[in-house]
Amino acid sequence: MDSETKRSSFTGKIGFILAAAGSAVGLGNIWRFPYLAAKYGGGIFLLVYIILSITFGFALMVAEIAIGRKTQQSPLGAFRALDKRFSWVGILATIIPVLILPYYSVIGGWVTKYMFGFMAGSMGDMANDAYFGDYIGKVGEPIVWFVAFIAITTLIVIFGVQKGIEKVSKVMMPMLVVLMLFIVIYSFCTLDGAWAGVVYYLKPDFSHFSIMTVVAAMGQLFYSMSLAMGIMITFGSYMKKDISIEKSTHQIEIFDTGIAFLSGLMIVPAVFAFSGGNESALGKGPGLMFITLPKIFNTMPGGAVIGAIFFMMVLLAALTSAISLMETVVAVVMDKLKLKRWSACLLVFGACLLLGLPSALGFSAWANVKILGMQFLDLFDFISNSILMPIVALATCIFVGFILKPKPLVEEAELSGKFKAKKLFEIMIKWIAPVCILAILISSVLDVFGIVKI
């Protein structure tokens, strides 16, 4: 069987939105968004993010899905099929999941550990400020959980049971939303000082604005919506012609941004309540969710059970995203190296272990190793989100805007009816998005090399 047929059996012809939303909603929404929002000025970050999401995010997602559906190919083939000079964009887009999956699995490992921690009755310990730092500071345990997470992902992909997982997540995701709402309401009603956090999170304060707010928001947008790495192109290639690209994009966008918003609302005010809005607590970074949530659960009657259920749902959301990342890489490895599915999976598994190890050790044995002032996990995150994805996004915009021209993609989108935001799409993809992405790319590079401090 050729890989193309095998690939289509992955999400197959099951609901496109479900598969795309399963890929989009994950740690990016629940873990990454709140810590960025806390760090980059709360309300102003949220505002910038939402504006970018309904303009940039929308245009780019429509473009990617339409490219996939038009060419009926994965990113590697799609760009080549449309214009040989742009083959490299497909290649770059395929490299990005290889960089993300390993460190994604490190965080997935943290989630798994916390889930079992709640089940084992360690909630009291986990609610201590020092617990998370001590935990990731160990050499052995975080690696075991990281390997466990990537092993589960690999097994699911090897045995092709994604459909089962997607069915479970179809039920669990709405439950996750309900649970998050409950946690939000609970903390507003019971935690002193939470309202100050709500104001910080919802009210844009322009004095907190900097170019970095936009850089961070844009990187987050690509990451959260699984954009600029070919995943939506692949999904688009499975999408039936009579399904509306525009409507589906809106639905994914609303769902994805809604969950991110809710996660922020769950975490940022609680950080305020527990720290009084202390700057160092807001700037905690990747550990924020793991430090804050156990404290909330610890004040809740039945918190241990609720905490365990919550982390289980987060784990499931993380798994559906990790599966889509792995599936993309496996599909390319099968194509290019002419390998069978399971050998390709094992190869990707091995590569993930190797690439993820530095991120897992970056908080313990290799804590002193810094590249460009960053630990490995931050470095992988930075290279993929702030450098490579903007490059792919920029190239996609130039390609669609000037080489292919928006027209064929607009026509593709119109196959299922009127394309209401056609003008917005054309102007965004051709002018506004490329200019902004370029400006942002340059500023984040200048910033990290210390040439200009922004």
Footprint of ligand PHE on this chain (CB under 6 A)? 23-24, 26-29, 97, 100, 223-224, 226, 229, 231, 321, 324-325
The nearer residue to ligand PHE, 231 or 436, going by C-beta atoms, is 231
Place of tokens 């609303």: 254
- Whole-Å CA distances, 390 to 27, 307, 330: 20, 36, 23
Residues 6+ apart with CB under 8 A from 187: 194, 266, 269, 270, 273, 296
Contacts 24+ apart (CB under 8 A), 139-142: 139/361, 139/364, 139/365, 141/113, 142/106, 142/109, 142/110, 142/113, 142/360, 142/363, 142/364
- The minimum distance between CB 104 and ligand PHE, in angstroms, equals 7
- The minimum distance between CB 93 and ligand PHE, in angstroms, equals 11
- The minimum distance between CB 438 and ligand PHE, in angstroms, equals 22
As given in the structure block, the two tokens for residue 8 are 């289509």
The nearer residue to ligand PHE, 11 or 29, going by C-beta atoms, is 29
Distance between CA 405 and CA 398 in Å, rounded?
9
- The minimum distance between CB 344 and ligand PHE, in angstroms, equals 18
Nearest Cα neighbor of 228 from 428, 377, 94, 80 is 94
The nearer residue to ligand PHE, 49 or 186, going by C-beta atoms, is 49
The nearer residue to ligand PHE, 127 or 262, going by C-beta atoms, is 262
Express the helix, strand and coil content of the chain in percent, nearest 5 each.
80, 0, 20
SS3 state at 450: coil
The nearer residue to ligand PHE, 213 or 234, going by C-beta atoms, is 234
As given in the structure block, the two tokens for residue 328 are 């993309």
- The minimum distance between CB 156 and ligand PHE, in angstroms, equals 14
Residues 6+ apart with CB under 8 A from 451: none
The nearer residue to ligand PHE, 249 or 324, going by C-beta atoms, is 324
Nearest Cα neighbor of 104 from 29, 202, 155, 21 is 29
DSSP H/E element including 22: helix 16-24
- The minimum distance between CB 430 and ligand PHE, in angstroms, equals 25
The nearer residue to ligand PHE, 10 or 186, going by C-beta atoms, is 10
Place of tokens 């604005």: 209
- Whole-Å CA distances, 402 to 229, 347, 405, 435: 20, 38, 5, 14
The nearer residue to ligand PHE, 257 or 292, going by C-beta atoms, is 257
- The minimum distance between CB 384 and ligand PHE, in angstroms, equals 9
- The minimum distance between CB 27 and ligand PHE, in angstroms, equals 4
